[in-house]
Amino acid sequence: MRVGFGIYHPMLTVSGLMNAIQQYLGLDIDERIEKAFKELESDFIVLHWPHNQLEQLLETCRRWCGKELVVRLMGEVEPSFMKKLSEIALTVAPSQILRLSPEVYLDRKQEVYYIEVLSSIDIEQLKRILAIPAERIILDLRGLHQNWRGREGRFMLPVLEAAVGGYFLYDEVDVVFYHPLAHASIRLLKEGKTAGRNLSDYAKLIAEARE
Write out the residues near other proteins by the rule CB under 8 A: 121-124, 126, 152, 155-156, 158-170, 181, 184-185, 187-189, 192, 195-196, 201-202, 205-206, 209-211
DSSP H/E element including 210: helix 199-210
Closer CB to other proteins, residue 17 or residue 160?
160
In angstroms, the CA 23 to CA 195 distance is: 34
Closer CB to other proteins, residue 50 or residue 153?
153
End-to-end CA distance of the chain: 29
Q: Please state the closest distance from residue 126 (CB atom) to other proteins, in A.
A: 7
Q: Please state the closest distance from residue 36 (CB atom) to other proteins, in A.
A: 24
In angstroms, the CA 103 to CA 48 distance is: 24
Closer CB to other proteins, residue 11 or residue 206?
206
Closer CB to other proteins, residue 65 or residue 159?
159
